[in-house]
Structures are given as C-alpha cells and as structure tokens.
Amino acid sequence: MTSEENYRAIVRYLTQRRRPYAGGTAEHTKRAIRKAAACYVYRDGLLLYQRRRRDSGCLDELEVVVDERRRLHIFSRCHVSPSGRHLSRDVTCRAVSNAYWWRGTRPDPGDRPPRPPATAPPHGILRWRSPPAGPTPSTSAHHHHTQPLN
C-alpha cells in the first residue's frame, strides 16, 4: 500500500466503527492498521499524529500531510524567516517537525546518524595509483615501490 492508502485506511479505522476495514482486507493488514492507528487521532477533519516528547513526556499532535505539493509548500514557507532570511536545513526541519508529520520526516535533526570522528581521514582522498609503466628498481626483502600522487 502507498503512504496515501495507509493514511486513508487509518482514517477509515478511526471514523467508521461499524466497518473499519475495506472489504477483502487480509487479517495481517487489519492488524497492521490497528497497530498504526494507535498513534493517530482524527479531529475536525484532520488526521493528527501523536508524538510523545522525550523531555516532558507530553503528547504533541502533529498534522499529517499527505499531498506532496502541500509538503513542498510547507518546506518553502518554513525555510524563509519572516525577515526574508534563508534558514539552514536543520532549522527548517525543526520548524516543519514541530507542527507537521509524514512518513520520512525526521522527528529531530539530532537523530541523524553521527558524523565520523574528526581523526578519520576524509573519504575518497587516499586512493591507489595504477602501477607505473615499465620496470621499477629492484629492492631488498621483496619490498614494493610506491609513487606519490601528483
């Protein structure tokens, strides 16, 4: 099922108590819908995702946005400050995730994978050079010659 179909199934489950599932829905799909619907409420025509705050334990209710064009509009609106200044990716994501939710949004910019340690060499800088053309001088103890990268 697509993301939009999942949200439609959750809305149906939350609003239609007599027939919460579409006809022909498999049992494992019904279980998945019930499990997913536990995190949502439907109020005033809006599907809201409930997220518990780590610091206080309070519940935040975030509007679920299904339409791709509306998501882009939300991002562009949150990316520019009221003074017209462009905000960073982290600030923009934080502003979006404070009021809206859809599958794939980061709940917190700090949740992304950690950066590699500063002592690690930059990826892609050190690489092997192809062996030189022609013979190389002989060495003792079966050592190999290397050539610096130019």
Give the pLDDT band (50/70/90) at residue 133: low
**Given this model, what pLDDT does residue 125 score?**
56
pTM of structure: 0.63
The answer to whether residues 18 and 117 touch, using CB atoms and an 8 Å cutoff, is no
Question: Burial level of 109, CB count in 10 A (0-12/13-18/19+)?
Answer: middle
Residue 115 in this model has a pLDDT that exceeds 90? no
The more confidently predicted of residues 146 and 10 is: 10
Domain boundaries, the chain: 1-38, 44-117
The more confidently predicted of residues 146 and 36 is: 36
Structure tokens at 95: 């502003």
45 vs 149: CA distance, rounded Å:
64
